[in-house]
Amino acid sequence: MALLNILKYPDPRLHTVAKPVAEVDERIRTLVDDMLETMYSAEGVGLAATQVDVHERVVVIDTSNERNEPRVLINPELVSFSEDWVDGEEGCLSVPTIYDKVKRHSKVKVRSLNREGQVWEFEAEGLLAVCVQHEMDHLMGKVFVEYLSPMKRDRIKTKLVKKAREEQPERVRR
């Protein structure tokens, strides 16, 4: 297993729409394992392949307190969703240290392939429902800050670009 590099907003690659996985093979299972290791290492609850610059429809999620209930979603689709909404605070491994409120469906039903390529469905509510929608947005090339006002989004972009510049070694900045 390997730790993967997580793209940071406003990297334009985060806006790439992911393609469906044609076959769940050893390459995809290795990607899943590496994504899980990366997500756990970064202390996240979800990670989409888009965030690690792989533009295929793969998501890993673990919202359990013990961090021992990984969910693998390959080619996920929302089968249904509630008409009621929840306004929850979200963060993102691609937008570090930034949290803001985003409106999401309070319940969703998801169908996807698992790590072995078998179809499975589950219903989600609470944090899991929010996480599923957040990660599926990544597969469509959308980052949660795009739900915010243009002014907030510009402030976040400016802050993260400045932070990235400050973290570069001196010789690279010249």
Within 8 A by CB and 6+ apart from 130, the residues are 86, 88, 90, 102, 104
Element (H, E) at 105: strand 95-105
Question: Which residues on adjacent β-strands are paired with residue 48?
Answer: 59
**Residue 156, SS3?**
helix
Active-site position among 135, 146, 166, 167? 135
Torsion sign, CA atoms 48, 164, 88, 14 = negative
Instruction: Answer yes or no: 125 catalytic.
Output: no
Active site residues: 135
